[in-house]
Amino acid sequence: MTSYLTWPRGLLTPRSERWGITGQVSTGGQSLGGISQTTNSSGGGYWTCDFDGIWMRTAPQVKAWRALEALLDGGVTGIIVPSCDCKFSPLDSASYVPHSDGTLFDDGTGYLSGAGSAEFVGAYALRATRVQVQVINGVLTGGEIFTVDHATVGPRRYVVGQVHGVVGDVYDVTIRTPLRAAVVDGEAVDFANPRVVMKLATSDEMALTVDMGRQAMGAVRFVEAFGIGALEE
């Protein structure tokens, strides 16, 4: 299995990030009455990501940026791009559960309750968009971001578009983008660390201007990558 570099969020932290699904849409233009027919022939689109406001105040930050710029080879090498989505995660965090009478242990801790987790219920084919997901310690309402780490195409990012129903802790949902690879029953659905394999949108995307030889403000745009080379992490 291919291993990819991962964007060091802790070191090169964007002040803002913008994610979107871009598709190949064409139109025949408007009719006299203002009606136009829109055609999408891209099969559901691909992810794009903009990291803005990456403030580099230390030497390790600037050097990490330069190193990544070199290693990504202008978009030939793939990288896993994570997103900071924990505030919107549907899963409960790990927490201490007290005794039945509400008291804790002497050191102030309780029984450790596991963080939430999720997995597919049933197997689904390549490009499926209607799936069932079992969510332990969490609630889906739509708009949640998750990742499936496919064995063939690496981690891929998806969004829950609609929740059609829930039976127990199994949710029947519509997702976008279509599944990038088939999944098996019980395959993990990762809501905790959404990420996707991407590449630089343009070859000079990471050209960096260093102010006064001391600090720099960076911005970078990625697009989802397919069939791209990887560097060992």
Partner 1 sequence: MSIDFGADGNAMLESDMVRMAVLGRVATDIPARFWIGGINDLSIPPDNVETDSGAIYTGLGDVVGMGALSQLINGQADMVQITVSGAGVDVAGMQLLNASLEETIYRRFNLGLALFDDDWQQLGQTVWLAERECSTIDAAREAGVGGDPDVRTVSLGVGSTFTARRRPRVVNFTDAHQRRISASDRFFDRISTYSAGSTIKW
Q: State the residues that interact with partner 1 by CB under 8 A.
A: 23-24, 35-46, 74-75, 125-130, 153, 174, 177-178, 180, 202-204, 224, 226-227
Side-chain-side CA neighbours of residue 87 (13 Å): 2
Q: Tokens at residue 111, please?
A: 């029984």
Q: How far apart are CA 198 and CA 154, in angstroms?
A: 10
Q: Residue 87 Cβ, how far from partner 1 at the closest point, in Å? A: 29
Largest CA distance in the chain: 78
For partner 1, the closer CB: 10 or 34: 34
Determine if residue 108 is left, alpha or beta; phi over 0 gives left, psi from -120 to 50 gives alpha, anything else beta.
Answer: left
For partner 1, the closer CB: 73 or 185: 73
For partner 1, the closer CB: 23 or 186: 23
Q: Residue 34 Cβ, how far from partner 1 at the closest point, in Å? A: 11
For partner 1, the closer CB: 48 or 117: 48
For partner 1, the closer CB: 39 or 58: 39
Q: Residue 143 Cβ, how far from partner 1 at the closest point, in Å? A: 17
For partner 1, the closer CB: 41 or 100: 41
Q: Is the CA virtual torsion 195, 47, 7, 86 positive or negative?
A: negative
Q: Residue 107 Cβ, how far from partner 1 at the closest point, in Å? A: 51
Q: How far is CA 27 from CA 46, 72, 219, in A?
A: 19, 34, 32
Q: Residue 157 Cβ, how far from partner 1 at the closest point, in Å? A: 13
Q: Residue 43 Cβ, how far from partner 1 at the closest point, in Å? A: 5
Name the amino acid, one letter, at 2.
Answer: T
Cβ(148)–Cβ(158) below 8 Å = yes
Q: Tokens at residue 112, please?
A: 């450790």
CA angle 48, 51, 52 (to 5 degrees): 135
Q: Tokens at residue 222, please?
A: 């990625």
Cβ(133)–Cβ(162) below 8 Å = no
